[in-house]
Amino acid sequence: MESCNCIEPQWPADELLMKYQYISDFFIALAYFSIPLELIYFVKKSAVFPYRWVLVQFGAFIVLCGATHLINLWTFNMHSRTVAVVMTTAKVLTALVSCVTALMLVHIIPDLLSVKTRELFLKNKAAELDREMGLIRTQEETGRHVRMLTHEIRSTLDRHTILKTTLVELGRTLALEECALWMPTRTGLELQLSYTLRHQNPVGFTVPTQLPVINQVFNTNRAVKISPNSPVARLRPIAAKYMPGEVVAVRVPLLHLSNFQIYDWPELSTKRYALMVLMLPSDSARKWHVHELELVEVVADQVAVALSHAAILEESMRARDLLIEQNVALDLARREAETAVRARNDFLAVMNHEMGTPMHAIIAVSSLLQETELTPEQRLMVETILKSSNLLATLINDVLDLSRLEDGSLQLDIGTFNLHALFKEVLNLIKPIASVKKLLITLSLASDLPEYAVGDEKRLMQTLLNVVGNAVKFSKDGSISLSAFVAKSESLRDPRVPDFFPVPSDNHFYLRVQVKDSGSGINPQDIPKLFTKFAQGQSLATKNSDGSGLGLAICKRFVNLMEGHIWIESEGLGKGSTAIFVVKLGIPERSNELKLSFVPKGPANHGQTNFLGLKVLVMDDNGVSRSVTKGLLVHLGCDVMTVSSGDECLRAITQEHQVVFMDICMPGVDGYEIAVRIHEMFSKRHERPLIVALTGNTDRVTKEHCLRVGMDGVILKPVSVDKMRIVLSELLEHRVLFEA
Amino acid sequence: RHRSRREQAQIMEVGQLQRKFVDYTASLFCEGFLDAQFTQLQQLQDESNPDFVVEVVSLFFEDTEKLLNDLTRALDQQIVDFKKVDAHVHQLKGSSSSIGAQRVRNACIAFRNFCEEQNTDACSKCLQQVKQEYSLAKNKLDTLFRLEQQIAEAGGAVPM
């Protein structure tokens, strides 16, 4: 046989089988070509797929397989050698690629598998996060609810509103069926149903506090699930078909004000709790979630705080009301006291006046009686009457003074007075008594002590008399020394009185008076009592000395009014004592103007003997006036010469005349000129008679004129007996006259 | 001791006179004829000077009459010397003040004002006024002194 290049099939072609194979190969080839196309398409589409070249390999593998199968189509029949070659190439390539691919897969599959695992892991994680997100959201909602609830609860300070709001809001937030609050009764042995959500006014349910379920709730600050059948949860009749919802109870501490400590929540000390019971709706299969329980606990705490705030507010309102009441009562009491004081003062003033008027009448008439002719016994009797009535008058005044001193309404009568004369007078008043007791009294006035001072003369004298009088009273023998000087600032400060700060100034000075006696002394322990009224011990405060009144208590008050201080030093019984006081006095203006403007003060001499033989010259051109003035002076015991003209006056006047009264209103006679001439005549002051002008008007101009020409005084006509008496004594004592 | 009837009658009379005196004096004060200065004068009267008041008052009468005559003459002049008139009135004022003849003194004060104004007619009128007051005062005081004398004669003491 000749070898032909065509390959003949070994067996005879079964047409049907061949056809099926042919078709299958065709479709396989088709599929093998379309799959890579699809793969390429999808690879192109998906950017993230990491194994691109693996896909390419697969594609090649599949393409080649497809090619192989395709070429197979031609080999069914006679085919040429080229086809066989192509077929072989294709098969070889296919074999190559598939082997490489197989090898590759060994490496790739684990990776692919792990991708799957990671995917699963991530899915789990996502699920977990979802869960947690859910939780957080729930918590946030809970927080919001709590804040809202708290806000509602705390927006009011009214206890009832707080509690009602709590229940309402809780009911709303948690969608409760029922919410109830049980408050402890006053005894604390029972809990009473006070508020519920559904019923407006719950009546009369009480349960004893010592139930086990209640104790269980009270012993923890957590919300506790309790049985729906417990007495506190049984708020409505339970019908059999109800499947009651879960019930939770929580304690609400009722805090007292005293229980608050700053950083400690008082767990142990509060004994009183209220019980809050919350019930989920029945038949709802809802359960209490943890976050809901937490919400309930937080709310319970907030309620406790809100309640305590409300309690504090109530307390403070009550306290404020009490204070207002007290204020009103105090005000009333004060007004009553003021009324009483005023009434007392009025009474005292009236009494003073009523008692004073007849008193003054007695004194006046007795004085007049003294002036008339009396037998010695009668004179003695009249003097006694006068002395007693003067004393009584002083007492009456002192009572008024003391009452005014007590309520601070006493004011000092300030005036200018002669300080030296005051001391001398006190001495004169005390001397008789002292000499009876054979006590030696000495007075020493400092050289720099001003002669005149501004202050309350009468009360200063009272004080001085009292102090000196006490010294005399309590000394049986020995001596009493009275000294007065101007206090310098160092000596003013008494270490026992640290709040006494005397400040001397230009027109004030501090007078310091010391009365030292060698008498019975005082126990140092008794010294503080001396200045209190009616103190026991020494009876200093109860006895009277000459016109001094009610004693050291008054003295102390006077001294205080004069911005000073008084104290007594003593080394003990039998060692004598020293009374010291310091008072503030003013310094009078150094001008003659002032001298002429105040009324003469001085003891009114009731005796006429002072002026006996006083040589006086009267110059007046009016006969009647002259006679009257002469009569006046003669009545007072003077030796009077009268002249009716200036020349006569100058001719008649001698050194022996002590006073010249001249009328300066005489027409044609210049009285002032005469005065000047008299001055010229007598160069030495003590030789010259005192010149007093008599005039019908004492205006400023006249007075100044009189001053200028050197007159010693001015009197307003007509002159009364008393006035003349005063004038003369003033003149003779001071050699100068002060006339109002 | 036993008083005789005549003594008793005398005492009663004295008493009456004294009451009359007191009443009269009081009326003089009330009506303003006399003021406190007169009381002063009365006070100056004592044993050493028993007629002081009468003496002074008599002096007053003398003085005043002289003054009034001078005043009348002065105002009758053609040209009135008011300075002189004033001087006289001043004197009269002083005297009347000294014995407490209040109304006379007040009249003098008014008189002096018109003198300052140099009003002749008014001054004449015032002079009349003063004269009138003076004679009234004189009468009253004379009556008073007579009463005093009567009391003294009846043996009583003049109440002061």
Does the pLDDT of residue A322 top 90, yes or no? Answer: yes
> Which one is predicted more confidently, A267 or A49?
A49
A470 known ligand binder: yes
Structure tokens at A297: 């606990």
pLDDT of residue A49: 66
> What average pLDDT does the structure give for chain B?
86
A520 pLDDT band, cuts 50/70/90, is confident
Phi, psi torsion values for A518, nearest 5 degrees: -110, 45
pLDDT of residue A543: 41
Does the pLDDT of residue A328 top 90, yes or no? Answer: yes
CA atoms within 13 A on the CB side of A169: 24
Does the pLDDT of residue A465 top 80, yes or no? Answer: yes
Please report which helix (H) or strand (E) contains residue A479, including its range: strand A479-486
Contact at CB, B97 and A631, closer than 8 angstroms: no
Query: Which residues of chain A make contact with B52, given a CB cutoff of 8 A?
Result: 631
- Cα of B110 to nearest chain A Cα, Å: 16
A541 known ligand binder: no
> What average pLDDT does the structure give for chain A?
79
pLDDT in tens, B44-55: 887 777 888 899
Q: Is-contact A163 A300, C-beta < 8 A?
A: no
pLDDT of residue A539: 44
C-alpha closest to that of A249 among A180, A298, A203, A303? A180
Instruction: Please state, in angstroms and rounded to a whole number, the distance separating the CA atoms of residues A162 and A302.
Output: 10
A472 known ligand binder: yes
Cross-chain CB nearest to B63 (options A624, A628, A717): A624
Instruction: Please state, in angstroms and rounded to a whole number, the distance separating the CA atoms of residues A267 and A257.
Output: 14
Of A146-150, A345-349, A610-614, minimum mean pLDDT range: A610-614
A130 known ligand binder: no
A69 known ligand binder: yes
pLDDT of residue A2: 53
Q: Distance from CA of residue A289 to its chain's centroid?
A: 54
Contact at CB, B44 and A667, closer than 8 angstroms: no
- A-B interface: how many C-beta pairs under 8 angstroms? 70
Average pLDDT score over residue span A6-12: 58
Contact at CB, B46 and A635, closer than 8 angstroms: yes
Average pLDDT score over residue span A494-512: 68
Burial code (b: 16+ CB inside 10 Å, e: under 16) for A707-730 equals bebebbbbbebbbebebbbbbbbb
pLDDT of residue A492: 56
pLDDT of residue A9: 58
Q: What is the DSSP letter of A282?
A: T
pLDDT in tens, A294-314: 888 988 888 888 888 888 888
Contact at CB, A696 and B97, closer than 8 angstroms: yes
Q: A276 - beta bridge partners?
A: A181, A250
pLDDT in tens, A576-604: 889 999 999 988 876 544 444 334 444 44
Does the pLDDT of residue A54 top 80, yes or no? Answer: no
Does the pLDDT of residue A524 top 80, yes or no? Answer: no
Q: Give the contacts of B22 (CB within 8 A, at least 6 positions apart).
A: B159
pLDDT of residue A319: 92
Q: What is the DSSP letter of A637?
A: T
pTM: 0.37
A59 pLDDT band, cuts 50/70/90, is confident
Percentage, residues of chain A above pLDDT 90: 7
pLDDT in tens, A85-122: 888 888 888 888 888 888 888 888 888 788 888 999 99
Contact at CB, A718 and B37, closer than 8 angstroms: yes
Q: A87 vs A4, A77, A100, A439, CA distance in Å?
A: 19, 14, 20, 173
Does the pLDDT of residue A334 top 90, yes or no? Answer: yes
Query: Which residues of chain A make contact with B43, given a CB cutoff of 8 A?
Result: 635, 721
pLDDT in tens, A428-442: 888 877 888 888 888
Does the pLDDT of residue A147 top 60, yes or no? Answer: yes
Average pLDDT score over residue span B66-75: 90
B56 touches chain A (CB under 8 A): yes
Contact at CB, B91 and A621, closer than 8 angstroms: yes
Cross-chain CB nearest to B49 (options A634, A696, A720): A634
A188 touches chain B (CB under 8 A): no
Does the pLDDT of residue B134 top 90, yes or no? Answer: yes
Percentage, residues of chain A above pLDDT 70: 83
Average pLDDT score over residue span A486-506: 63
Instruction: Please state, in angstroms and rounded to a whole number, the distance separating the CA atoms of residues A424 and A430.
Output: 10
pLDDT of residue B69: 92
Instruction: Please state, in angstroms and rounded to a whole number, the distance separating the CA atoms of residues A243 and A237.
Output: 13
Of A198-202, A281-285, A368-372, minimum mean pLDDT range: A198-202
Instruction: Please state, in angstroms and rounded to a whole number, the distance separating the CA atoms of residues A707 and A592.
Output: 8
pLDDT in tens, A678-709: 888 887 767 778 888 888 766 777 778 888 88
A11 pLDDT band, cuts 50/70/90, is low
Highest mean pLDDT among A8-22, A137-151, A417-431: A417-431
> Which one is predicted more confidently, A331 or A623?
A331
